[in-house]
Structure formats: structure tokens, C-alpha cells
């Protein structure tokens, strides 16, 4: 039996996302190349999983702070684990790449507005019961928006227009929306001052809601500051305390930055905190209750 390396590419095309005639994204489609090793029989056909020999190899994970994790990784026979570079070389490589101060939104947003109509499929729907009646007109700023957020809003009957991250606030206000959503997205919220200015121009004119990146942009627009967290929040079930009713809510999170509560001015209320590390999970404008932002992923 011989061991041959096989490779394939997976094309990730943002335009195939359940929308009606969406425009082309401003960035090129990404390609993820995956290489694996499979044992092949004498006639060249891949053998079954049960016949594959498995082995254990040393693996290293070098982090930005200089710590090095050593572990055992399992892979099919023939899989090669990177051993050609020293720990110092790997550490230098990890420190050469940084997301602090980098605008990653421009690479994931669309370059023109489009409408969204698709709802959550019935087998996955919950609470809303589905709706064919339009309840609210929502403008959603695309900073890298997750499709499930749009699906949930549509399931509640919202008529949604998705706009690019650089869409002028004046054009949004001309649409006379019932509310504006500032979406999630990658990168450093302090590296996108143009988005913060857009939020400032819309604040106080219509109700707004921010999720993840949008939450952090709202914090800056209201006078606060953001910072890079030492331990980021990714997936998992996070316990979040609602300070208004003292209840604990469980939700998923995926962000690297947070709002500094001490930087928020009077009139801005922290309404939720993450019980794992005490970080700010939601802010609201006290006078109108119409300005809200959250680091959480939950639409129910």
C-alpha cells in the first residue's frame, strides 16, 4: 500500500447567500486549500477509514505572548507535521501578524445595497412562528453580517435593506427606516472611524441596534472607547447577567474587542455584563431606551 497526498480547494463565494440578485462583493472570493493524506490501494483507490493506519506526532502552537503549547496531534499515516522551523522562528511569524488597528470590514462588505427576503426554514424556526406581514422597515449595515441575523429579522416580518459599510447616513435616513441595525464584523472597531461617524449621524434620529462590531461602534459613537481583550470570546455558552432584572441569560459570542465601561459618559447605561470576565455585554441610551448594542448573538 502506498501513501499519496491529495489536495482540493473549497471556493467560498459570498454572493451565494440566499439573497435576491445580490451585487458582487467588493472583495474577491476566498479559496481555502485543504491537503490531506490518504492510504491508497495498489489500484489507486482510497481505502476505507477502518484500514487507515493512524499515528501520533508532536505538534506546536506558538502564541503571540510567547507561550508555546505542545500537544499530540492525530493524523493519518503520511501526514507531515511542521517541524522545519524553530520555536523562535514560529514566534516571530506569529508576532508579524496583528489585527489591532486593521480595518478588515472593507474586505467583507458588499459594494451596493440589496434587499433580503428569505426567512428561517420552518424546521429551524422558533418563537416567531413565521410572518408574511411586514412589521418594520430595517436598514442593516453590512460590516460582515451573519446571514442568520437577517433570516431571523425576516422571520418576524421585517422588510430589510442591507447597505455597505460606507453607505452615507443621509441616504439611510432618506429611506425612513423604522430602525437601523449595525452588524457584526471582523477586525478592530477603533480602526474604522468612518463607520463610527456614520453611527453618530444616525443616533437620535431613528432607533438603532448594534451587534458585536456594531455594539462596539455604538460604544465609540456614544463617547466610549474599545480595547483588545486578553482572552477573546469565541462560540461557547456565555453566562450574561441582565442588570435590569438580575437574570442570567446564556448566549453565544464571537469577538476580540470590548467596550471599556469606565470610558462611557453619563447617560449611557451598561445593562448586561459577561459573568466569565465581567466585560461589557450590552449598553443602552438611558433617556430614550432606543439606543442599544450587544456583543451577543441572539435573536429570539
Alpha carbon separation from 295 to 7, 193, 232 (Å, rounded): 38, 19, 12
Average pLDDT estimate for 212-228: 96
Task: Please tell me the distance from the alpha carbon of residue 170 to that of residue 135, in angstroms, as a whole number.
Answer: 23
Average pLDDT estimate for 191-215: 96
C-alpha cell at 259: 467596550
- 252 pLDDT band, cuts 50/70/90, is confident
Across the chain, mean pLDDT equals 75
Q: Which residue has the higher pLDDT, 33 or 111?
A: 111
Q: What is the pLDDT of residue 234?
A: 86
Q: What is the pLDDT of residue 50?
A: 40
Query: What is the value of pTM for the model shown?
Result: 0.69
Average pLDDT estimate for 137-147: 96
Q: Which domains does the chain have, with CATH numbers?
A: 1-52 (no CATH), 58-97 (no CATH), 105-297 (3.40.50.880)
pLDDT in tens, 68-92: 655 544 444 444 445 667 778 877 8
Specify which of 53-67, 108-122, 216-230, 283-297 reaches the highest per-range mean pLDDT: 216-230
Sheet holding 179-182, edge to edge: 114-116, 159-163, 137-141, 179-182, 208-211, 291-294, 280-285, 268-274, 226-242, 247-259, 296-297
Amino acid at each position: 500500500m502506498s501513501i499519496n497526498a491529495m489536495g482540493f480547494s473549497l471556493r467560498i463565494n459570498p454572493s451565494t447567500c440566499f439573497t435576491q440578485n445580490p451585487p458582487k462583493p467588493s472583495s474577491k472570493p476566498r479559496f481555502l486549500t485543504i491537503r490531506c493524506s490518504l492510504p491508497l490501494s495498489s489500484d489507486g483507490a482510497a481505502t476505507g477509514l477502518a484500514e487507515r493506519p493512524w499515528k501520533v506526532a508532536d505538534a506546536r502552537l506558538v502564541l503571540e505572548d510567547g507561550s508555546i503549547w505542545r500537544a499530540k496531534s492525530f493524523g493519518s499515516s503520511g501526514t507531515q507535521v511542521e517541524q522545519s522551523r524553530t520555536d523562535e522562528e514560529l514566534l516571530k511569524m506569529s508576532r508579524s501578524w496583528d489585527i489591532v488597528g486593521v480595518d478588515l470590514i472593507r474586505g467583507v462588505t458588499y459594494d451596493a445595497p440589496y434587499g433580503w427576503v428569505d426567512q428561517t426554514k420552518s424546521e429551524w424556526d422558533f418563537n416567531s412562528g413565521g410572518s408574511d406581514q411586514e412589521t418594520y422597515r430595517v436598514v442593516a449595515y453590512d460590516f460582515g453580517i451573519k446571514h442568520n441575523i437577517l433570516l431571523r429579522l425576516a422571520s418576524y416580518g421585517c422588510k430589510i435593506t442591507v447597505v455597505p459599510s460606507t453607505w452615507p447616513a443621509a441616504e439611510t435616513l432618506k429611506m425612513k427606516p423604522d430602525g437601523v441595525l449595525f452588524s457584526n464584523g471582523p477586525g478592530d472597531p477603533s480602526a474604522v472611524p468612518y463607520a463610527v461617524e456614520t453611527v453618530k449621524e444616525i443616533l437620535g434620529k431613528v432607533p438603532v441596534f448594534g451587534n458585536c462590531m456594531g455594539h462596539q461602534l455604538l460604544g465609540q459613537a456614544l463617547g466610549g472607547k474599545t480595547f483588545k481583550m486578553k482572552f477573546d470570546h469565541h462560540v461557547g455558552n456565555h453566562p450574561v447577567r441582565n442588570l435590569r432584572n438580575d437574570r442570567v441569560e446564556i448566549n453565544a459570542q464571537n469577538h476580540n474587542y470590548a467596550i471599556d465601561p469606565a470610558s462611557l459618559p453619563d447617560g449611557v447605561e451598561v445593562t448586561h455584563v459577561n459573568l466569565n470576565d465581567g466585560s461589557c455585554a450590552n449598553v443602552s441610551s438611558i433617556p430614550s431606551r432606543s439606543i442599544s448594542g450587544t456583543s451577543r448573538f441572539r435573536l429570539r
